Structure 1
Amino acid sequence: MAATAQYLARAASAYKNKDGNLLSQILFIERDSNVGKIINEILPESSNLRALVLKTLPGDDQLRLADLMGSVLQYLCDTALGHEQLVLLRSLRLSKVYESAIKMFALRDSAWFNPCIQQLTLWVLQVAEEKADIARQDNSRDRLVAAITTATNGPLKTAAADNKLLEPLRQLAPRSRDITFWLANVLLKRSFELRDTLASAEPILTFLAPQMENLHLFTRAEQVTFRYYAGCVFLAKEELLIAREHLIIAFDLCTNKSPHNKRPRLLSAFGLTSRFLPLILAIRSGDRSLFRKHLDDNMEWFRKKYIYIILRSKGEALVLRSLFRRTVLVTRKLWPAENPNLPPTVQFEHLLIAALFSYRYPAMGDMELSTWDKTDMEAICASLIDQDPPSFLSPQDATKLNWIELQMRSSSEVQMLTLEDLIARYGPHPYLLAKLGTIFDQAGAPAMALEEYRKTQEQLSVAGFQDDTFNAFVDQFARTIQEEFKQILNSVNKGTYYQGWRPTKLHKFPLNLPHLPLGHQEVKDEWSQCFHPQSIMFQRYLTNVAIDTCQIEATFLLTPESVKDLVFRGISDGLVATAPESAVTDSDKVKRILNDVIAAYDLLADVVADPFKLDREYVCRLHKVLMKTCRFEGRRYNPPGVTRTKTGQTVVISNPNYTISCCSYLQVDEELVYICKMAKVRVPIAQSDMQV
C-alpha cells in the first residue's frame, strides 16, 4: 500500500497547508505516473475504501478528507474495470467526487479550495459533454443539464452567499470565495449550448443577486463575460431594457485598443455578422429587394430565433425610410430649390421611380408593382413620418414607451399605467395626453378618450400651438360618440320592460327610520369596546367584509381555507387560493383589490362620522379608490371616479325572464345629487338642520 499511502499523505499535507493548487493536482490522479500501482493496491479494498482512507490519513484530517479521497479512490477503482464502460463510470463516480468536494467547499474558511472547485467543475462539465459519443444526443443533453444544475446549486450558491469583502482580494486572511463570477460565466456559457437555455440560466442569475453590488470588484474579464451572458439571457426573456443595460456595460468595458473592431469581433464570434450585416447594408442603401432576398434565404434561422416577422416588418420600414431620404438628397442636387430658405419639397413621382427600382424583384406577399401610383407613395410617406417620443422624455422612459407600443401583447392596462406614470412625472404634456386618449378609445372608453383629447387641445393652446387637423379630428370624434350614445339610448327607450326606471323622488320610503330595538345601545357600546378601529379583531372583521364584498360581486372567488388564512394572517401575509371558476386568479391582483376595498371603507368612515360630507364628488372619490385595480377587466376599461353622465353608457339589466331599465345617463348626476341630499335628511340628527 506504499503508493496509496504516499498519495493520501500528499493530499493530507495539501489540506493541512491550505494549498488548493497542490490539492487540485492530486485530485486529477489519472495524470500521476503511479496511478497503476494505486489501482492495483486499492482493488482488494474496493469494498471499503473509506475505511482505507481513515486508516491511512492522520487523525486531524480524517473527518474532512475521508469522504473526498474515498470518492476519488472509488473513481479510480471503478473506471479501471472495463474500457467499454469507461465514460459512463467516469460520469457516475466523478459526480460522487464532485459532491464530496462541494461539501468541503461549503465548510467555513474554505476559500483556499477555490482552485479545486474550479478544476472539478470544468472536469464534470467536460465529461458530461463527452458522453455524446456513446449515448444518444438527447440523453447527453440531459446529463449536461444535470451537471450544470449540480454546479449551480452547489459551489455557485455557496460562493454567491459569501458576504466577505472582496477588496483587496489578496490581503484577506482567509480569502473569500472569489470565484463567484468565474463559476457563473462557465455555467452560463454551457447553458447556451442547451435547447432550453433559460431553465438553466435563470437560477444562476437568481443566486448572483447578493453579489451584483460587488461585481465591480472582480476582474474586468469576468465583468465583461458576465454582462454579455446576462444580457443574452434577458434578450431571450424579451426583457429588452435590462438586456440593454448589461450589453452596454459589456461593450463599454471592452478594451479600447481596438475600438473599431471590438463590436464586429464579438458579433462574428457568434455568427451574427454573416446573418445581419447584409440586412444592415440593404437598409442603408434602401434596397428592399436585397433586404428580402437575404432575409428569406435565412428564414429558417431567423424563424427559430423568433425574430423573422419583426425583422421583416420593421426592416422594410427602415428600408423605405432610407430609400426616400436618399431620393430627396439626390433630387435636391439635380433640381435645386429656387429659394434655399424654404423647406425641401418631395415629388411623389420621384419617390415612385425609386420605389419601383427598390422593389425590382418581387417577394412573397408583394402587391403587383404595375398598380402602384402616386397615391401609394403618399400613403407610405405618411406612415413613415417620425413618430418617436419627444426629447423631453429620458432615454429610459422613451425606450420603455416604445417597447410597450411595439409589443402587440401589451395589454391596455400596461400601456395605460405606463402613460399615467409618465404624466404624473412629466406633467400633462400634449404628446402623452393624446397617447392616453388613444388607449382609452381602444379599451372601450371613448368618453374618457375625448376628455384626454380636450386636455391635449388645452395644453397646445397654452403653448401657443394651433393644430387645425387635430382640432377637426376631436370635433368629429365628439360628434361621433355623442351620436352613438344617443342611438343606443333611443333604441333602449323603445323596448318593453318588466320594470321601467322611475326617479328616486317618485319612490315611497319610510319617514320614521331608524327603528332601533331595545338594548341597542348596550350592543353598540360592547361592540365599540371589542372592535375599536385599532384592534386586531376589527382589522380581521374588515378583511372578512372586504372578501365577502368581492365574492358577492363575483370579482373573484376564494377557497374557504384561503379566506380563513387571509382573515387571520392579514392580506399581505395570507395565502390566496382562488376557486376554479374565479374570474381573477392572479394572487397579487386579488390582494391589490382587497386593499382597494379596505381603503374605500376607510374613506367611507369619514362620511359615516359626518353625513354632511356626502355629495356627488365624495361618491366619485370613493368609487375611484374602490376601482383602482378593478378598472381593468381584460381588454376593457371601467372608468373609475366618474358617473355615467360623463361616460355616456346606457345600462339595461336583462335575462330570459325579465328586462329592467336603469337610469338614463343623461339623468344620473341629477339622481345622485338627490340621493345624497335625501340621505342627509333621513339621518335623525340632521333632520332639523338640513334644507333640501
Structure 2
Amino acid sequence: MSSLVSTFITHIAQCFTTSSADNLLTSLPLTDAHPFFGPLRQAVTSVPENAISASSVSQQLGFVGNDVKDNLAAFISATLMNVRSRKSFTTLSTEEAYEGFIRLSTVYSEANKLYTMTNEDGRHLHAFMNPMIVSLAKTLVEVSHHAASLSTLPLRNSKSARSIRDATRQVIERSMQISNANMTESDWNAYSNQQYMVGDIVWDLSDILFRIYAERKLHSQSAELSRTLESLTPHENKRFAARGQIVPSTTICQSYYWRGKIRLILLEFRQAKYWLDKAWNFAPKDQQGWKQRRSILIRLIAVNMLVGQLPSEATLREYDLLEFLPLIYAYKSGNIPLWRRTLDQNRDWFRRRSIWLILYERGEILIWRNLFRKTLKTYHQMDPSLPKNKCPTWIFVSATYRTFLGTGEIEDGTIELEDIICVLSSLIDHGLIRGFLSYSQRQLTMKPTQDGLGCFPRISDVEPRKTQLAGQSRE
C-alpha cells in the first residue's frame, strides 16, 4: 500500500483515538477543495480498490480498541473511496454527480455510526466529532444540490432529484436524532462541564434542516423540528446558560428566525411574533448583521401588521424595505384598493419571502376594520351629540362606496347594504368588532364609550381564530 495512504489512515485513527476534534476536521478531505485531496487522490488511485476496503484498513488499526475498530475502519475506508473517485464539480456528468453524492453520503452514514456510540451509562463516546458532523452536513447539502440539479429522472426513480434530496435530509436527520438526545438532571450536572457534548450542535443541524424543509415546503417537518427544539431536556435556555459560549449567537438567532417563520406560515401569528422578536434581539447589531436583521424584519413586519403594530418609515428606509410603505398607508387609512394593488404589483417580492399569502388572506379584513373605525370616528366628530352606543349602517355603505369609486375594483359602484352586512358580520365573528348588528333596524349596537369607538378593540387584544391545516392533528 502507498505510504501516503498508510500515513493518512494512521493519522485519522490517531486524531480519533485522542479525541482531537480540530485535527480530525482539518485532516478530512471531503471535496477537491481540501489541500490534502490532490496528493491523497493520486496515492489511492495507485493502489487496488481492495487495499482501501474496510477489512484492509482495519488491519492497520491495531492500536484502536476492538469496540470501535470496525466502525472506524468503515469510516476511513468510505473516506478514501470518496477521494479515489471524486471529480471536480465543473466536469461531472449526471451519473458521476449521483455517484459522488452516494459516496459522500456513505462517509456521512459511517460517521453517524461512530457518533451514535454510547457507553453503558448511555453517554455518547465521540462528542468531539461535533465539528466534523456539522461540516459533513453542510458539504453533503452542497454536493446533493449539484447532483439533484443535474438529474432529469422521474420522481419515483432512486436517482431522481427528489430521491437525492430525501436521502440528504434523512442522513442529517439521523445526526439530529443523536444530537437532541434528552439528558436527566443528574447526567446534565455531571457532564455539562465537558468540552464537547453532542447536544451542542443541535441548533447547527436544525438550521440546516430548517433550510432544507423550507426549500421543499415541508412545513409539517419544520413544525415538528421546532417542537423538538422547544421540548429539549434540559430546556434549551438552561443549555444556553451553561454552554452558551460554545453556540454562536448567530446560530441561535437563525434558529429563532426559522421557528418564527414556520409559525407565520402556519398562521400562528403570536407565536411567530414571539420567535421573531427573540431572533431580532439576538441578531448582531453591526454592519455584518444587517442582512440577517433585514430577513428577520421582513417577516416581523408582516406578523406585526396582523397584530396591529406598524414599523416606522425610518426603519423601512434603514433596511431598504420601501415595498411596505404603501401597505402601511393603506393599513392606516383603510384604503382597501391600495392594499390590493400593492400586493398585486409586488406579488413576486412578497411571495419569495413567504408573506404574500398571509397578507392577502389575513390582512385585508384588518383594512376593512380600519376603514369602518375611521368612518365611525368621523361620524361622531361631525355631530358629538349622537348616541355613542349605536350607529346606522348606511355610514359604512357610504364610506365604502367612496373608497372604491373609480378604482376599477369589483366593488366600484356596486356596493350595497347586503355587502356591508356581510363584512360587518365577518368582523364581529373575528372579534374585530364587538357589538350586535340589527338588519331590520339597519344599525350597529355597541358598548357606549366617550369617543363612540367602544366596539373596536385594539387589534393586538384580539385573539386570532385558530386555523388547522389539512392533515394537522388537533392537540
Paired with 1:23 and 1:323, the residues of 2 have a C-alpha distance of: 66
Alignment RMSD (CA, Å): 4.8
1:324 aligns with 2:386: no
Deviations 1:567-587 (A, max 9, x none): xxxxxxxxxxxxxxxxxxx9x
Which is higher, the Rg of structure 1 or of structure 2? 1
Deviations 1:663-687 (A, max 9, x none): xxxxxxxxxxxxxxxxxxxxxxxxx
Letter in 1 for 2:219: L
Q: CA deviation at 1:71?
A: 0.3
Residue equivalent to 1:98: 108
Shift of 1:127: 0.8
Q: Counterpart of 1:594?
A: none
Query: Aligned pair in 2 of structure 1 residues 32, 104: CA closer, same or farther (>3 Å)?
Result: same
Q: Distance in 1 between matches of 2:36 and 2:74?
A: 22
CA distance in 2 between counterparts of 1:379 and 1:183 reads: 48
Aligned to 2:60: 56
Which of 75, 78, 83 is residue 85 of structure 2 equivalent to?
78
Q: Report if aligned partners of 2:263, 2:271 keep a CA contact under 8 Å in 1.
A: yes
User: 1:149 deviation in Å?
Assistant: 1.9
Matched, 1:286 2:304: no
Give yes or no for the alignment of 1:266 onto 2:288: no
Q: Distance in 2 between matches of 1:245 and 1:93?
A: 42
Cα distance between partner residues in 1 of 2:33 and 2:172 = 24
Secondary structure of residue in 1 paired with 2:433: coil
Unaligned runs of at least 5 residues, structure 2: 119-124, 303-320, 436-446, 448-453
How far 1:262 sits from its partner (Å)? Answer: 8.9
Q: CA deviation at 1:19?
A: 0.8
For 2:364 and 2:12, how far apart are their aligned partners in 1? 63
The amino acid across from 1:46 in the alignment is: E
Q: Is 2:368 the counterpart of 1:366? A: no
Q: Which residue number in structure 2 is paired with residue 231 of structure 1?
A: 260
Q: 1:205 to 1:212 in 2, by over 3 A?
A: farther
Cα-to-partner distance string for 1:90-124 (whole Å, 9 max, x where unaligned): 20100110011001111132111111101001111
* Cα gap change, 1:203 to 1:93, in 2 (>3 Å): farther
C-alpha distance in 1, partners of 2:268/2:426? 27
Counterpart secondary structure, 2:465: helix
Q: Which amino acid aligns with 2:104?
A: L
Give the equivalent residue in structure 2 for 1:89: 99
Helix, strand or coil at the partner of 1:403: coil
Distance 1:179 1:60 in 2: 26
After TM superposition, list the pairs within 5 Å mapping 1:539-618 onto structure 2: none
From 379, 382, 403, the equivalent of 2:465 is 403
Shift of 1:58: 3.7
**Partner in structure 1 of residue 161 of structure 2:** 140
One-letter code of the match for 2:172? Answer: A
Residue 198 of structure 1: aligned partner: 219
Unaligned runs of 5+ in 1: 411-585, 589-692
1:528 maps to none
When residues 141 and 342 of structure 1 are mapped into structure 2, their CA distance, relative to the original with a 3 A threshold, is: same
SS of the residue corresponding to residue 206 of structure 2 reads helix
**Deviation digits for residues 158-215 of structure 1 (CA, Å, limit 9, x no counterpart):** 11115276679873266454111221122112211113x2254255346546516521
Tell me what 1:114 maps to: 130
**1:28–1:210 distance in 2 versus 1, CA, 3 Å:** farther
Paired residues for 1:303-318 under 5 Å: 306-307=357-358, 310-311=361-362, 313-318=364-369
**SS of 2:144 mapped into structure 1:** helix
Aligned twin of 1:435: none
Aligned partner of 1:39 among 20, 41, 66: 41
Structure 2: distance between partners of 1:346 and 1:206: 47
TM-score where L is the length of structure 1: 0.48
Q: CA 1:379/1:160 → structure 2, altered by over 3 Å: closer, same or farther? A: closer
AA paired with 2:330?
A
Alpha-carbon distance in 2 for matches of 1:34, 1:349? 80
Q: Of the two structures, which has the highest relative contact order with CA contacts closer than 8 Å and spacing of 6 or more?
A: 2
User: How far is 1:316 from its partner?
Assistant: 4.0
- 1:67 aligned onto 2:74: yes
Q: Given the superposition, is the C-alpha separation of residues 348 and 251 from structure 1 closer, same or farther in structure 2, using an over 3 Å criterion? A: same
Q: Is the 8 A contact 1:234 1:242 kept in 2?
A: yes
Change (3 A) 1:210 1:377: closer
Whole-Å separation in 2 of the counterparts to 1:307 and 1:348? 29
Residues 336, 190 of structure 1: alpha-carbon distance in 2 compared, 3 angstrom cutoff: same
1:76 & 1:264 partners in 2: Cα distance?
40
Whether the 8 Å contact between 2:147 and 2:161 is mirrored in structure 1 is yes
Alpha carbons of structure 1 residues 383 and 310: separation in structure 2 relative to 1, 3 Å: closer
Equivalent residue, structure 1, for 2:176: 156
Q: Quote how far apart the aligned CAs of 1:143 are.
A: 1.7
Tell me, in whole angstroms, the C-alpha distance in 2 between the residues paired with 1:47 and 1:131: 27
TM-score normalised by structure 2 residue count = 0.66
Amino acid paired to 1:324: T
- The separation in 1 between residues aligned to 2:71 and 2:346, in whole angstroms, is 56
Instruction: Mark the CA change 1:174 to 1:380 in structure 2 (over 3 Å): closer, same or farther.
Output: closer
Q: Which amino acid counterpart does residue 88 of structure 1 have in structure 2? A: Y
Q: Between Structure 1 and Structure 2, how many residues are aligned?
A: 395
Residue 187, structure 1, aligned to residue 209, structure 2: yes
Q: Is the 8 A contact 1:149 1:200 kept in 2?
A: no
Moved more, 177-186 or 291-300: 291-300
Q: Tell me how far apart the structure 2 counterparts of residues 102 and 284 of structure 1 sit (CA, whole Å).
A: 54
For 1:261 and 1:140, the matched residues in 2 are separated by 30
**What is the CA-CA distance between 1:367 and the residue it aligns to?**
5.4
Residue number in structure 2 paired with 1:126: 142
Distance of aligned partners of 1:166 and 1:250 in 2 relative to their CA distance in 1, 3 Å threshold: farther
**1:359-383, Cα deviation, whole Å (9 max, x unpaired):** 23334431525x769x998997898
One-letter amino acid of the counterpart of residue 258, structure 2: Y
Whether the 8 Å contact between 2:273 and 2:300 is mirrored in structure 1 is no
What SS is found at the alignment partner of 2:215? coil
Cα gap change, 1:244/1:150 in structure 2, threshold over 3 Å: closer, same or farther?
same
- Aligned-pair identity in percent equals 16
Residue 292 of structure 1 deviates from its aligned partner by 2.5
Q: Which of 155-164 and 66-75 deviates more?
A: 155-164
2:82, 2:412 → 1: CA distance?
Answer: 68
TM-aligned CA distance change 1:383 to 1:127, over 3 Å: closer
SS at match of 1:289: helix
Q: CA 1:140–1:382 in structure 2 vs 1: closer, same or farther (change >3 Å)?
A: closer
Over 3 Å counting, the alpha-carbon distance change for 1:200 and 1:221 in structure 2 is same
Q: 1:317 is aligned with what amino acid?
A: W
Question: CA shift at 1:232, angstroms?
Answer: 2.8
